[in-house]
């Protein structure tokens, strides 16, 4: 069960590295425009805000990787950062796009379940 939990933590961290890349570096590029349903004009206006969001997603990924690097001693860190991802996902779904519930909050919930069962 621990192997599955740690695999899910790693996948959740990698998801947030991907989100970091989209928000910080690809926001106004074709992939970023499609991912966030943006026009080039709206992306240009919000590029700095998106980069800031990307940085926060990077911190979530870093925390999850940190927890993994500590082995069993990192259990609480993995749980904490998974909860942070869940809260961010629920807030994002409520305020920005319902899609975030499935892209961010659902994976965080599954990760938490497996962490707590391990």
Using CA atoms, how far apart are residues 90 and 82, in angstroms rounded to an integer?
12
- On the question of pLDDT at 1 being above 90, the answer is no
Which stretch of DSSP H or E encloses residue 2? helix 2-24
Of 93, 90, 59, 53, the C-alpha closest to 77 is 59
- Domain hosting 19: range is 2-117
The percent of residues above 90 in pLDDT, for the chain, comes to 99
Structurally, the chain folds into a number of domains equal to 1
Percent of the chain with pLDDT over 70: 100
pLDDT in tens, 90-118: 999 999 999 999 999 999 999 999 999 99
Which tens digit of pLDDT belongs to each residue from 11-68?
A: 999 999 999 999 999 999 999 999 999 999 999 999 999 999 999 999 999 999 999 9
């Amino acid at each position: 069960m621990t192997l599955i939990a740690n695999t899910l933590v790693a996948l959740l961290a990698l998801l947030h590295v991907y989100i970091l890349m989209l928000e910080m570096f690809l926001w106004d590029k074709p992939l970023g425009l499609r991912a966030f349903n943006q026009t080039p004009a709206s992306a240009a206006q919000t590029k700095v805000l998106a980069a800031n969001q990307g940085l926060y997603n990077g911190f979530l990924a870093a925390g999850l990787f940190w927890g993994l690097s500590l082995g069993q001693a990192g259990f609480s860190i993995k749980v904490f950062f998974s909860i942070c991802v869940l809260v961010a996902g629920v807030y994002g779904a409520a305020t920005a796009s319902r899609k975030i519930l499935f892209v961010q909050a659902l994976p965080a919930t599954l990760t938490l379940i497996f962490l707590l069962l391990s």
